[in-house]
Each structure stands twice: as C-alpha cells, then as structure tokens.
A and B are shown apart, each in its own frame.
Chain A
Amino acid sequence: MNYLYTIWIPLIPLLVFIFTGLFGGRFKPLISGLIGTMGLLLTFILSLLTAWNFFFVNGISGEAYPVIIAAKTTWLQLTDHLKIDLGVMLDPISVMMLVVITTVSLMIHIYSLGYMKGERGFERFYAFLSLFTFSMLGLVVATNIFQMYIFWELVGVSSYLLIGFYYERPTAVAASKKAFIVTRFADLGFLIGILLLSFYTKTFDFAELTNPQSPVFAGITSVSFMGLSVITWAMLLIFMGGAGKSAMFPLHIWLPDAMEGPTPVSALIHAATMVVAGVYLVARMFPVYIVHTPDALTVIAWVGGFTSLFAAVIACTQFDIKRVLAYSTLSQIGYMMLALGVSGSGGEHGLGYMASMFHLFTHAMFKALLFLGAGSIIHAVHSNYLNDMGGLRKFLPVTHLTFLVACLAISGIPPFAGFFSKDEILVAAWQHNKVLFSIEYLVAGLTAFYMFRLYFGIFWNKTPHYHHTPHESPLTMTVPLVFLAIGSAFTGFIPFGRFVSADLRPFESEMHLNIALPSVLIAMAGISLAYVLYKKESPVVARIITAMGSFYRVVYNKFYIDEVYLFIAKRIMFNLVSRPIAWFDRHIVDGTMNRIAWLISVTSEKIKGIQSGQLQHYALAFVSGALILALIVLHNLS
C-alpha cells in the first residue's frame, strides 16, 4: 500500500497558512476562514482515509501493526551516520493522533467561523490556526526525534501567537510571554536530552531508538553521571520537555494563564492537542523508557499522579470557568502521564500505555467540547466568571445538553467515553502501585465534584440579572458542539486495545467491575455533593469555606506557586545572576570598547591640527623633507 499521499496531511495546512497569511488581508475575512476550513476538511478526510487504510485495509501483518515510513528525505547530513530526516511515520499512535488533531481542529475551525465573527484579525486568526495544525501534524508524524523537536518548537510558537491574539490586552501579552518562556525553559531540557541521547546512540531515528533489540544503546547504559546512568539523565531531560509542554507540576504555571487566548484556541491547543504532545512524546519514547530506564518511568508516574491531584484541588476553588477547565486539563493529563508511568510492556502488562492513549483520545473529545461549550456560554453572557452566570439552561438548550454530556464523560459516568478510558487507567494503577491508585481514585471524585460545581453553577443555581437576554449561539457553533458530544458519548466503545498497544500487538482489554464500580460510585458521590451545594444557592458553601480557613485561601491562590516562581525569578535570579552579568556586560565588555574608542577620539582631537588644509604648510614639510634627504645623501657621498 502506498502511503505517499500522507505528506499532504501536514502540507495542506501549511499551504493554507502561507496563502491566508500573505493574502488574507486582500479579501473579506470570511473568505480566509472558509479557505482554512476547507483545507482542514480535506486534511480531515485524508487522515480518516489513512486511519482506515492503516487499521482496516492493511491491518496487522504477522502479529503486530507495522511501522510504516511513508516518506522520508534527508534534511541535514551531520556525519556519515548521524543525519536529520524529515518524513512521515505511520504507526498506531501517530495515526490515532492524526485523527484526533484533524477532528478537533476541524470542529474548531467551524466553530470559530461563528465565535470569532467580526473580530479584528479574523484572517490572522485562521492563518495561525493553520500554522498550528501544520506544526502539530508534523510533530506526530515525525520519523525522528529531531524532526519532532523542530515541530515541537513550532507548536510552541503558534501557541504563543494565539495566546497573544488579543495583543492590545496587557494580560494576554503577559500570558503569551509566560507560556513561551516556561515551555522554552522546559525545551532546553528536551534539547539537552536529545543531544545526550544522540551523542551516545549516534542516531535520531525513532525506528532505531524504539527497537528494544537495537544495538545503539550498547554504549550509553554503562556511562554514568552523578550516580545515575546517562541514559536515565537523557530520558529524564526529555521528559522535562514533555512536562513543560503538557504543563506538569512544577512547570504547569503557564497553562491557566494561557486561557487569555480566544476560547477556540484554548479548546484546540490548550486542551485537546498541543498539551498532550508531552504525553505523546513519552509514549513515542516508551520502549526506551521501559527497557532502559524504568526509574524514569516511576518519576513520570509520580509527577503525573501528583499533578492530577494538585490541579483537581485547585480546580474546586476557581471562579473563572476557563481556568477551572484549564486545571481539569492539567489533572487529566496527569492521569495520562501516570498511566504511561505505571505501564509495562506486552499484552495485559501494557494496559497503562493503551489506557493513556485511550484517555488522550476521549479527553480530546470531551475537553474540546467543554471548552467550546464554555465559549458558547461566554459568548452569550460576556463574562468568564461563574458569579455572573446561573440558570442558563433555559437560554442555551443545546449548549446545556452538550455540556452535560461532556461533564458526565469527564466524570467517568458510564456509558460516556471518559468512563472507559479512566477505568483502564485505574486498573493499570491498581496493578502497579496502590498509593497512586488511591490518589487517582480520590481525583476521580474531585473531578466529578468540580465539573458539576461548574455545571450547576452555570446552568442552574440562581439566575443573575442579565443586561440582555442570553441567546443560543449560531449554527456554526452548535454543530461542532453536537458533533463532539456524539464523540464524547460513544468513543468509549472503541475497543482501543485492538488498535494501540505498547508493543504494537493488539490485545483485548476487559472491564474490571471491582474497579469500575467503586470509581462510578465516587464519581456519583462527587456529583451528589455538587448537587447539594450548587444546585440552588446554598449557605453551606460559605460556611464550608470559613471552616476550611487558611487552607481554602492557599488553594484559592493556587498554592502560591506563581508567587514562588516570581520570588525565585525576581529576587534570586535577577539579583544574584542577572545583575552581576549585566554589570559585567556594561562595565567590562562595553567598558573596554568604550575606552578604546575614547582613546582614539582624544588622540585624533590632539593631532588633527597637523592636517591644516593649507597647501603651503604641506609644501613646507615637503621641501624641508626633500632638503634633509638631499643633505643626508650628500653627507653619505662625501
């Protein structure tokens, strides 16, 4: 089967970006939007076709799914062995990601036609969306880790551009800078990790790196640095890049602020696709982790587990609905990381890997839906704050129903999608580590609680006084909502183990009733608690808050992590590092140059009188010189 056409999957959005970016201003804004949407529709169809061909037409060869290099071209030949390629690699997870990205992106393109209507820079928005889609698609089909890194940075740039879309707002500018700097900092680790890895293995290729029998690791496992083998360092640093992009604690601080961007952007980039790039990276490198550095996997599991709990606790206290969703994204990505961390390889042991990818898939659906629903709500009431909302179920029936579906899905209520994927994660955690399992179990309850706090707060509770009656969003916005709601409701039934597994061999995963039942029960408990507290305005809420006292305040202020960062950055880094460097630069480096320039200028000031411009002075000098020479010659002759 020839998969060469797959190179058009990333290339179409790139062409659309170039076209709308250069010429978008010449037409009506809507034209750019339509071009972008049409281009993406084409990409979407191509991706579905690829998935169909990959999973069903070609299917399994032998016992496992093949890894197909659909296209490859050498971009940089560094040495005889070490080269950087650009190409398209198809394997179960990259094909799955193609489907996820193009589906969500298409929905967001359609949704934005309505949501962004009449905004200034409409065509710029679509150009950036196309750029982002191109980079993200290029990232998932990367054939080698360096190509991945290039596109990794590209998604970072597009995320920066889109967060700062409303560049007149200082908060948006600050948020975009924060996102860029924090992720760049993490990417530094990623780059060092890549360099370490490639230095010892002499290759960038995933095909060689992820092959357990590959001889390339022979040199690296024996070298150690500060008590850990170099490969552990390299893989931990690579995970640091992933943690930055996926906003794992303690690099999570940029994601809640990134909500300053337009809501469709939050849905696409900061919920469904880009932030799971870190999970994807770990999944891509999983064979290396499992074979060579199981310690690093443990770190990943704990970071994921901690982040999911930490973010879930904060999410319970926030009032900006987009921020609640942002923290819930953190929490869910924590789940995925944890699932990868506790996974083994092969058959049932690889359950965590499969569960992580499964959750990534379902999460993309329901989280995009939640954000788009939030966008629809914000569109209707012109506020992000929970206090300004309430009783909206009467005004926004479609948004209400789809939002409810998404809330049920994320809370893990059967038969919605989140239930199945979360159940697999819990099973994987149970088999591996009981502590992590209990954390995740608690988080499942918290998730249900804060999601339904949001749901009841928005759609029930007391109705505040609206300046003008909220109205349901236009069709371009509701159609994607309905589509994603269908996705959130039914994608759970996909037998994911047959498509994605750690060793490419399909397996059947079973329901584990002994885990599924309690997890549904705790979710129900969370929902009931939210029902009691937030269905109607209740005085109990205030009393609980007072009872919690300073703990509530700490959580409300997000555990003061931002303040800690500011303290470290401003007090310690600026004072102890930046200032001496600035002094050195100004006084030593610049000073030397300035001194030299000053010396030359003073000297020339002193001697410029010699060049009087008077011909007679020159003639005098000439004549006297000639005379002296003549005298010397005469003297020597005699």
Chain B
Amino acid sequence: MISGIPITHFLIVSTLMFFIGIYGFLTRRNLITMLMAIELILNSVNINFVVFNKYLYPDQMQGHFFALFIVAIAAAEASVAIALIINIYRRFTSIEVEDVDEMKY
C-alpha cells in the first residue's frame, strides 16, 4: 500500500503505456521501433502485475515473480529480435517491414 496514491493512477499510467505501445506497433514500419513498442506493452503489463499484487494481495508474491519472469523473457526476446533484425538488414539492407516481402504471393 503506497500511501496517498490510489490504484487507479497506476492503472491509468499502465493503460496509457499499453495503448501507446499498440499504436506504435501498428503504425511504425521500422522494425527497431516496433520492438520498442512491444517492450512498452510488456512493461505496461508488468506494472499491472506489481500493482495488483501490492494493492489486492499484499501478503503474497506471485505478481512480483511474474513481473521478474517477464523482464527476463523480454530481455531474451529482445536479443533474438535484434539478431533477426540484423540478419534481415544484411539481406535486404533495410529494416522496413514492407521491404521484407519475398514470401508474398
């Protein structure tokens, strides 16, 4: 329980982050930017986990652990994604998603 700050404030922040992420993912064509947008989405979820844990079940730890797992997996995912992006760049000399269309009909 953090004194003086109601749960809704946290949730508003996380919701904003989530939709900023969604917006970025849908509108950007640059792979790196899209990756960053995905990180935003993940972290908004992280905030929710921690906050709900803290406010609803303060004597339990599951939410915290979940957040930690997500951070770890996000790191792994980012490294794999960056590796893919580098390879794509080597092949197409571009990281715009629209240029990667060899498998299209």
Contact = CB atoms under 8 A, between A and B. Distances in A.
B97 A614 contact: yes
B101 A613 contact: yes
Interface of A is mostly: helix
A608 B105 contact: yes
Interface in B54-104: 97-98, 101, 103-104
A458 to B, nearest CB: 78
A613 B103 CA distance: 8
B103 A623 contact: no
A616 B31 CA distance: 11
A344 to B, nearest CB: 83
A612 B97 CA distance: 12
A313 to B, nearest CB: 75
Interface in B22-72: 22, 25-27, 29, 34
Query: Size band of the A side of the interface?
Result: 10 to 19
Interface in A586-611: 608, 611
Nearest to A616: B26
A616 B104 contact: no
Contacts of A612: 104
Contacts of B97: 614-616
Contact of B25 (A608, A611, A619): A619
A619 B26 contact: yes
Interface of B is mostly: helix
Interface residues of B, number: 12
Contacts of A616: 25-27, 29, 34, 97
Nearest to A615: B97
A218 interface: no
A620 interface: yes
Contacts of A619: 25-26
Interface string A118-141: 000000000000000000000000
Contacts of A620: 26
A615 B101 CA distance: 11
A613 B104 contact: yes
B47 to A, nearest CB: 19
B22 A623 contact: yes
Nearest to A613: B104
A611 B105 CA distance: 9
Nearest to B98: A614
Contacts of B105: 608, 611, 613
Nearest to A623: B22
Contacts of A608: 105
B43 to A, nearest CB: 18
B85 to A, nearest CB: 14
Contacts of B34: 616
A613 B99 CA distance: 11
A605 to B, nearest CB: 11
B99 to A, nearest CB: 11
Interface string A186-220: 00000000000000000000000000000000000
Most buried by A among B25, B26, B104: B26
A615 B105 CA distance: 15
A200 to B, nearest CB: 64
A623 B104 contact: no
A437 B7 CA distance: 125
A623 B98 CA distance: 20
Contacts of B22: 623
A512 B45 CA distance: 121
A613 to B, nearest CB: 4
Nearest to B102: A613
Contacts of B27: 616
Most buried by B among A611, A615, A616: A616
A612 B98 CA distance: 10
A609 to B, nearest CB: 10
Contacts of B98: 614
Contacts of A611: 105
A608 B26 CA distance: 21
B97 to A, nearest CB: 7
A453 to B, nearest CB: 80
A94 to B, nearest CB: 71
B38 to A, nearest CB: 10
A467 B95 CA distance: 89
A295 to B, nearest CB: 74
Contacts of A614: 97-98
A616 B97 CA distance: 9
Interface of B: 22, 25-27, 29, 34, 97-98, 101, 103-105
9 contacts: A608-B105, A613-B101, A613-B104, A616-B26, A616-B97, A619-B25, A619-B26, A620-B26, A623-B26
Given A613-B103, A614-B97, A614-B98, 6 more contacts: A613-B101, A615-B97, A616-B26, A616-B34, A616-B97, A623-B22
Can you list the 5 inter-chain pairs with the closest CB atoms, starting with the nearest?
A: A613-B104, A620-B26, A616-B26, A623-B22, A619-B26
